[in-house]
């Protein structure tokens, strides 16, 4: 079993083309060797965004703090605390911070994504 506090995991800049003002924390990651999923914490600063991208796996997002929007193939949706997002495999998407404070969310991806 692993128990970790968010602040015990270093925040690293998201090094991905198109990412702006984004930090990631691997709460449960490759070094933990979980059987199925990785759990990541994202913090997007005001005016920041994730890359506008697609991949061949699903992922689920749960927003804990801040305001933003998620762009997808059919438009965009507003997101805020309590919002849950399912991104289907192959669906082009981007998370944008539209608020004045950080946009923080948990992201669950299959282990094959790491």
Q: Which domains, ranges and CATH numbers included, belong to the chain?
A: 6-113 (2.60.120.10)
Question: Is the Cβ–Cβ distance between 112 and 55 less than 8 Å?
Answer: no
pLDDT at residue number 63 = 98
What pLDDT, in 10s, does the model give residues 27-69? 999 999 999 999 999 999 999 999 999 999 999 999 999 999 9
Cα(91)–Cα(87) distance, integer angstroms: 6
In angstroms, the CA 41 to CA 33 distance is: 17
% of the chain surpassing 90 pLDDT: 96
SS3 helix, strand, coil % of the chain, rounded to 5?
Answer: 10, 50, 40
pLDDT-derived band at 113, boundaries 50, 70, 90: confident
pLDDT band at 114 (very low <50, low <70, confident <90, very high): low
CA 20, distance to chain mean position in Å, is 13
């Amino acid at each position: 079993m692993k128990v970790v506090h968010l602040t015990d995991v270093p925040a690293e800049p998201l090094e991905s083309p198109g990412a702006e003002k984004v930090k990631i924390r691997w709460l449960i990651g490759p070094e933990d060797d979980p059987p199925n999923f990785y759990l990541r914490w994202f913090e997007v600063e005001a005016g920041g965004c994730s890359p506008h991208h697609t991949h061949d796996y699903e992922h689920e997002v749960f927003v804990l703090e801040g305001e933003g929007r998620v762009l997808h193939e059919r438009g965009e949706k507003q997101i805020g605390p309590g919002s849950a997002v399912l991104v289907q495999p192959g669906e082009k998407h981007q998370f944008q911070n539209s608020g004045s404070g950080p946009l923080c969310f948990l992201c669950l991806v299959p282990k094959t994504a790491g």
